[in-house]
Amino acid sequence: MTKYIRRAAALCALLLLALLVNATRVQVVDSKAYDSNPANRRKDIARYDRARGDILVGGRAVTGSRDTGEQLRHERTYTNGPLYAPVTGFASQVYGTTFLEHAEDALLAGTDPMLAPLPLWNDLARTRSPGGKVVTTVEPAAQRAAFAGLGGRKGAVAALDPATGKVLALVSSPSYDPERLAGTGSAVTGAWAALNADPDKPMLNRALSRTYPPGSTFKVVTAAAALDAGRITDLDAPTRSPDPYTLPGTSTSLANEVDGCSDASLRHAFQWSCNTVFAKLGVDTGQDALADTAKRFGFDGPGPKVPSPAARSTFDTATDDAQLALSAIGQYDTRATPLQMAMVAAAVAGGGSVKAPHLVDRTTSADDDIVATTHTRTLQQAMNPRTAAQLRELMTDVVEKGTGTNAAIDGVTVGGKTGTAQHGVGNAGTPYAWFIAWARKPADPEPSVAVAVVVEDAAADRSDISGGGTAAPIAKAVMEAVLGA
């Protein structure tokens, strides 16, 4: 019997061995596959186990965290959610993250290895650092001015510091409260469905994610290309432009909303936004030169990351002359985000230099130790400094005595450009009123703010003046807020 008992014992040993081998398989060999299975909630639980780090605007947190005690424990809260939604985005248990919440997720959630007290510490100790903080470049006063200026109308505002590329305001309207999407449950899914079904698209970040035809504000780019290419040497010389202008190779006639554009000088044409002059100037400057300048302003490249990714602005390069003429006045397939047009204004204000726009000044640990600082970075020289100086002169004229007088600020040098873009079949869509501008305090050598404003329903006034009438006051308010700060 002893022999058989030993054999039975060997069977038991075999069973033990099978269990140990299988345990090693599940817990060590295949564990990564199990851990990363999307149905495994452990990652989510760990993620929401700690309070998320905050996003700061003007030294104050505009986000918070609420401990619900549920499985996905901490839910995001927002102070002034609609105002800062285009900056923060949302952080939802169900729908993930967007914008800064997404771009800085690792830091906010505490998984960024830079937050660990020692390298690999969190891996070894199986802990997670407290979420870090994201300090934004946004000026609260400018943000509020832009939001109030839009007043619920569809539109967007982007404001930059031309010298550094800091984003001073980033507003989209109508907006929404991202807190509605934080957490789980039917309230969140209901809010998501309602926001997505809303015809006004409140979750669309019009400042970053939406491109518009830039209309006459694109004339800044066309003028820069013409001046850089030497097509125009004297701002006050007549340009030998007919009014109306027949688009090359077609019988389509392009007219102006204002008088006095026939054979006007560049100064006059810029001041009064003569389509005929700029359409012809675009064709005369040539597609390559125009496309090259547009590219250096940031068109046709990958959309900038601020670090939230902005949509790509386009200047269509595969065009015939008639299309080129329309592209040169910001129509046809030319499209730009409000951020891109703010970069155009900032480039003029900054002597032609295009700075990388950025929304994050620095990131810190929960204890305010610096993790990373965003430095000023020059992307391109969009034009000669001399050209920039000439454009500043032209833009100043627009505000002082042209289409943009609504943006004038007492005692401050303001340069701007209006625009009204038509769109839709037969231009039947609601026009977009544009205004891009910069402002310089008298004591300062350089402008300290550049702004782009777009308003979607420009009161049905299709004259080019509407940019000055609807958008310019908002730009003015934003610039005043920045200069006053």
Q: Which of 192, 190, 214 is nearest to 337 (CA)?
A: 214
Decide: is 9 part of the binding site for other proteins (CB under 8 A): yes
* Residues 119-138 within binding reach of other proteins (CB under 8 A): 126
Report yes or no: 437 and 405 within 8 Å, Cβ to Cβ.
no
Decide: is 373 part of the binding site for other proteins (CB under 8 A): no
Cβ proximity to other proteins: between 22 and 378 the closer is: 22
Catalytic-residue membership of 92: no
As given in the structure block, the two tokens for residue 464 are 């080019």
Decide: is 197 part of the binding site for other proteins (CB under 8 A): no
* The only residue of 15, 193, 237, 255 in contact with other proteins, by rule CB under 8 A: 15
Measuring CA to CA, how many Å separate 259 from each of 99, 271, 274?
A: 45, 12, 9
Output the smallest distance, CB 54 to other proteins, in A.
24
Report yes or no: 215 and 452 within 8 Å, Cβ to Cβ.
no
Q: What is the DSSP string of 204-253?
A: S-TTTT--B--GGGGHHHHHHHHHHTTS---TTSB----SSEEPTTS--E
Site string for other proteins, 68-107 (x = CB under 8 A): ----------------------------------------
Q: Which of 92, 129, 175, 216 is catalytic?
A: 216
Q: What is the DSSP letter of 270?
A: H
Site string for other proteins, 19-38 (x = CB under 8 A): xx-xxx-xxx-xxxxxx-xx
Q: Which of 484, 475, 378 is nearest to 169 (CA)?
A: 475
Cβ proximity to other proteins: between 37 and 253 the closer is: 37
Report yes or no: 202 and 193 within 8 Å, Cβ to Cβ.
no
Amino acid at 264: A
Decide: is 60 part of the binding site for other proteins (CB under 8 A): no
Decide: is 5 part of the binding site for other proteins (CB under 8 A): yes
Q: Name 365's Cβ contacts closer than 8 Å, sequence gap at least 6.
A: 115, 129, 130, 132, 133, 371
Output the smallest distance, CB 364 to other proteins, in A.
26
Decide: is 187 part of the binding site for other proteins (CB under 8 A): no
Decide: is 3 part of the binding site for other proteins (CB under 8 A): yes
Cβ proximity to other proteins: between 13 and 255 the closer is: 13
Cβ proximity to other proteins: between 22 and 253 the closer is: 22
Cβ proximity to other proteins: between 128 and 201 the closer is: 128
As given in the structure block, the two tokens for residue 164 are 């550094």
Output the smallest distance, CB 50 to other proteins, in A.
13
Strands 360-364 and 133-136: antiparallel
Decide: is 45 part of the binding site for other proteins (CB under 8 A): yes
Decide: is 6 part of the binding site for other proteins (CB under 8 A): yes
Cβ proximity to other proteins: between 70 and 369 the closer is: 70
Output the smallest distance, CB 64 to other proteins, in A.
24
Q: Which stretch binds other proteins (CB under 8 A): 39-47, 74-82, 147-155, 407-415?
A: 39-47
Q: Name 417's Cβ contacts closer than 8 Å, sequence gap at least 6.
A: 216, 217, 219, 220, 270, 273, 345, 395, 398, 404, 434, 435, 436, 437
Decide: is 428 part of the binding site for other proteins (CB under 8 A): no
Q: How far apart are CA 459 and CA 148, in angstroms?
A: 17
Output the smallest distance, CB 1 to other proteins, in A.
6
Site size for other proteins, by CB under 8 A? 37
Q: Which stretch binds other proteins (CB under 8 A): 8-16, 58-66, 145-153, 187-195?
A: 8-16
Q: How far apart are CA 485 and CA 128, in angstroms?
A: 38
Output the smallest distance, CB 111 to other proteins, in A.
16
Cβ proximity to other proteins: between 17 and 194 the closer is: 17
Q: How many CB atoms lie within 10 A of CB 365?
A: 21
Q: Which stretch binds other proteins (CB under 8 A): 5-13, 345-353, 369-377, 465-473?
A: 5-13
Beta bridge partners of 439: 414, 449
For tokens 């990373």, name the residue.
372
Q: How far apart are CA 421 and CA 85, in angstroms?
A: 26
Cβ proximity to other proteins: between 48 and 315 the closer is: 48
Residues that bind other proteins (CB under 8 A): 1-9, 11-13, 15-16, 18-20, 22-24, 26-28, 30-35, 37-42, 45, 126
> Which residues belong to the active site?
216
